[in-house]
Amino acid sequence: MIRFSENHSLKQHNTFGIEARAKYFFEFTDVEDLSVFLNSNESIKEEKILVIGEGSNILFLNDFDGLVIHPNLPGIQVVKEDRQNIWLEVGAGEVWDEFVQYAVDYQLGGIENLSLIPGSVGAAPVQNIGAYGQEVGNVVEKVKGFDLSNNMLIEFSAEQCDFGYRSSIFKSKLKNSFIITSVVFRLEKFPEFVLNYGQVEEKAKEKGEVNLHSVRDAVIEIRQSKLPDVKDLGNAGSFFKNPEVDIEIAEKLKNQFENIPVYPTKPGKAKLAAGWLIEKPGWKGVREGDVGVHEKQALVLVNYGYSSGQEIFDFSEKIKQSVFEKFGVELESEVNCI
Ligand code: EPU
């Protein structure tokens, strides 16, 4: 199936619920259709390109004057198996959390802590989604896709993906020049649970035995208690990254602000909790017009109704400014602002 339209509304394609339009919109369910479409439309190749999955990490500041490509490729297939692991190839268009549910149902471990993250499977490696001590990059074996610079299907090993904290080659060097079509995951038949983040262990134990189902349920419960559901309130999860700073700066801040959360990362570096840095100057729960900081998690900006992308962006800049003035720390957006 293909769908091509002009002046296409993107409201249903971004979880902030921003009313923006794309000059051209192309959706496909078969990789062949993508190459046929691009090869038969010479002029379209000149357009700016934006690839979107579920649109759960994007903020449109304006209409998009170019071609939006929405890969809607389905399917989950076993590609290899041994005593310990199973390798599954999953279409980019599958809904991430439905895939997590599938893995848990088949007793396969490695992504249960990533339950309930909004978005598509194809988007998961782009920003190396992570939560509660797991990151998708740790279970990705390969990423397959279509290289727009030469219209060829190519694949990347996990190492070539260059995964980092909320980053990968697909978000940097290959931004909008590579369309992920499927991802091969290596999951564990005998999972080792990651329980040491926040309340995960406590909540899983409350449910009886610690197993894939109880860990998934624990993560869902924690997320639902803090993070707004995109179905009820427009948002894109964490708007900012947790900033990494030199350890000397972290120590200086610790002397000034006793309770500041500091997580050493690598030698000489530490991460700070952006949520805390935003909450401290009083932003948590603040609303201006239709844009606000979520009342239970200061890292999340929400659209209460009819906010424009620009209003959300301007509001985010004010927060950045205020955090910089108070702590001398520069926040960086996690969300892709277009
Ligand atoms: N904190 C505050 N105030 C807040 C929020 C957090 O003081 O409003 C403090 C907490 O008390 C805690 C620390 O910040 O000491 C960390 O908080 P939390 O465990 O809620 O996680 P986070 O660092 O705020 C990150 C991810 C989330 C992910 C959680 C859980 C980033 C940018 N965000 O948030 O990911 O769900 O950890 O692993 O790394 C996302 O990327 O969209 C996302 C929601």
CATH, residue 29: 3.30.43.10
CA of 238 to the centre of ligand 1 (A): 8
Q: What is the mean pLDDT of residues 100-110?
A: 98
Catalytic entry in 54, 89, 112, 166 = 166
In this structure, the number of other CB atoms found within 10 A of the CB of residue 93 comes to: 21
Domain boundary among 46, 71, 96: 71
Q: What is the mean pLDDT of residues 141-170?
A: 96
Atom of ligand 1 nearest to the CA of 241: 32
Whether 242 contacts 272, CB under 8 Å: yes
pLDDT at 308 over 90: yes
CATH, residue 211: 3.30.465.10
Q: What is the mean pLDDT of residues 40-64?
A: 93
Question: Do 274 and 212 reside in the same domain of the chain?
Answer: no
In this structure, the number of other CB atoms found within 10 A of the CB of residue 28 comes to: 23
CB-defined site of ligand 1, < 6 Å: 131-132, 197-198, 227, 237-238, 241-242, 261, 273, 275-276, 279, 284, 297-299, 334
Enclosing domain of residue 97: 76-226
Question: Do 56 and 168 reside in the same domain of the chain?
Answer: no
Domain boundary among 54, 71, 88: 71
Torsion angle defined by CA atoms of residues 212, 214, 219 and 221, in that order, rounded to the nearest 10 degrees: 150
pLDDT at 134 over 90: yes
The reply to whether 166 belongs to the active site is: yes
What's the chain's average pLDDT? 96
Question: Do 165 and 86 reside in the same domain of the chain?
Answer: yes
The reply to whether 115 belongs to the active site is: no
0.85 exceeded by pTM: yes
Element (H, E) at 276: helix 274-279
Catalytic entry in 168, 238, 308, 316 = 238
Q: What is the predicted pLDDT for the residue at 45?
A: 81
Q: What is the predicted pLDDT for the residue at 183?
A: 98
CATH, residue 305: 3.90.78.10
pLDDT at 185 over 90: yes
Domain boundary among 169, 191, 226: 226
Confidence label for 40 from pLDDT (cuts 50, 70 and 90): confident
Counting the structural domains of the chain, the total is 3
**Shortest-distance Cα residue to atom 5 of ligand 1:** 275
Express each pLDDT in 201-245 by its tens digit.
Answer: 999 999 999 999 999 999 999 999 999 999 999 999 999 999 999
CA of 272 to the centre of ligand 1 (A): 10
What percent of the chain stands above pLDDT 70?
Answer: 100
Question: Do 180 and 293 reside in the same domain of the chain?
Answer: no
pLDDT at 44 over 90: no
Question: Do 62 and 22 reside in the same domain of the chain?
Answer: yes
Q: What is the mean pLDDT of residues 121-138?
A: 98
Q: What is the predicted pLDDT for the residue at 121?
A: 98
CA of 264 to the centre of ligand 1 (A): 16
**Shortest-distance Cα residue to atom 20 of ligand 1:** 297
In degrees rounded to 5, what are phi and psi of residue 153? -80, 130
CA of 86 to the centre of ligand 1 (A): 31
Rg value, the chain, Cα = 20
